[in-house]
Amino acid sequence: MASKIIVVATLSHREIKVVPGVLTLLVLRNSGAAFSIGTSMTVVFTLIALGVIFFILRTSRQLRSLPWAVTLGLLLGGATGNLTDRLLRSPGLFRGDVVDWIQLPHWPVFNVADSAIVCGGVLAVLLAAWGFRLDGTRDGHSGHSGHSGHSGSSGVSGDGGHGGVSGTGGVSGTGGAPQDGGQPGGPAPGQVTGSETRQPEGTGEGEAQERGSAAGGQAKQRGSTAGDSRA
């Protein structure tokens, strides 16, 4: 809008050839849309501009994407700039002529607002095609599918102070995996447990006493046998 005010004040009755044959600045009144399209539909384009501005302002509530923020900003700025001309310039309300002032070879005269609208439209198409959403997510990448750390079945935990690795595929702390057909948690075949190798205390003394008693009984029996034969 500021560029239009300056152009109308300085270029209303003349033109400037910035680059001869390439870029020329001059003031041209346009009652149609961008690039002088539809010059007889001024009121329709005014209503369309109002709808676009309302839609962008409403959509901005859920805006979380920087690319979309730039895109909607271009569209909003361009639509607002041209709408201001429609409302305030002659010949009247909703029928005002838009000020165009940039001329290129083989191209209709346009202004900065037209360029913003076109660039914003192209960006909107590209962002939609690439799957970018207004909330900052992207189609197929809307969230993290999992956590990279160990959790649940793959985590490390302890059971009863054993400190083993628990989980569906891990080794439990309370019992080892079955080996060679052995029972889970039990000793492997051929392994001697502590209860088998450990003997009760005093077992050696008891056996010695039993052997001594047996020897004494045999001696008494021999003595009695010898007395009987003498008699």
Annotated catalytic sites, by residue?
Answer: 100, 114
- The CA distance from 127 to 69, in Å, is 11
- The CA distance from 107 to 28, in Å, is 14
Instruction: Please work out, in degrees rounded to the nearest 5, the angle formed at the alpha carbon of residue 119 by the alpha carbons of 115 and 122.
Output: 145
Determine phi and psi for 102, rounding to 5 degrees.
Answer: -115, 125
Nearest Cα to 16, choosing from 29, 27, 2, 30? 27
- The CA distance from 56 to 60, in Å, is 6
Which tokens is 99 given? 């000020």
| Bridge partner residues of 104 (DSSP) | 107
Nearest Cα to 89, choosing from 30, 6, 2? 30
Q: How many CB atoms lie within 10 A of CB 99?
A: 24
Three-state DSSP at 74 gives helix
CA 72 to chain centroid, in Å, comes to: 24
